[in-house]
Amino acid sequence: MYENLEIVRWPDPRLKRPSTEVEKFDSRLRLLATRMLELMREAKGVGLAAPQVGINIRMFVMNPTGQEQDDRVYVNPVLTEGDGEEEADEGCLSLPGIYIPVPRFRTLRMQAKDLDGNPIDQVESGYLARIWQHETDHLNGVLLTDRMGALAKLANRKKLKELEEEYARAHPELAAAASKKKSSPRLLRK
């Protein structure tokens, strides 16, 4: 069912759409989570949100250690009670080769559901809290590109241009429409 799923890359517009709540906890959801965990492992990542495979639902998978017993799936996550702050470099499977410093809460509480619809209520700090925040950003249509300051944009402009060109080659019809939007005439103000 989800064998053909792959990780979508920036500037795919699906990455910018806010995701919808999951209402149905069934075998399809479980199969999607299994495939996402496979893709995450193949790409040597620690987290993968559903929008990153082109499905805009509020679910992400993660594994901070790479050990199969540490696989985690969070459905409809809500982050609260952020405390402290720390900055660290982050990368993204949808923006390969780009790493930027991102300030995040050090400690957070997450309330979510598991694949059976059972409640999850956890508090974590450090690396786990950072992964939660990064993946939840994806569910809200927020990417590392949105967190880049002027210097990071400048430092990564070549790689971003390469990703845009790669996307245009793979999706000429979408790239043409986006290009048309960019070049539409603007009204000048007097």
Render each residue's pLDDT in the chain as its tens digit; 190 residues: 788 999 999 999 999 999 999 999 999 999 999 999 999 999 999 999 999 999 999 999 999 999 999 999 999 999 999 999 999 999 999 999 999 999 999 999 999 999 999 999 999 999 999 999 999 999 999 999 999 989 999 999 999 999 999 999 988 876 555 555 554 444 444 4
In the chain, where the domains are located: 13-182
CA distances from 5 to 32, 50, 57, 73, 128 (A): 9, 10, 15, 18, 26
The model's pTM = 0.88
Q: Which CATH fold topology does 13-182 show?
A: Peptide Deformylase (3.90.45)
Annotated catalytic residue, options 3, 87, 135, 165: 135
Q: Can 135 be counted among the known catalytic residues?
A: yes
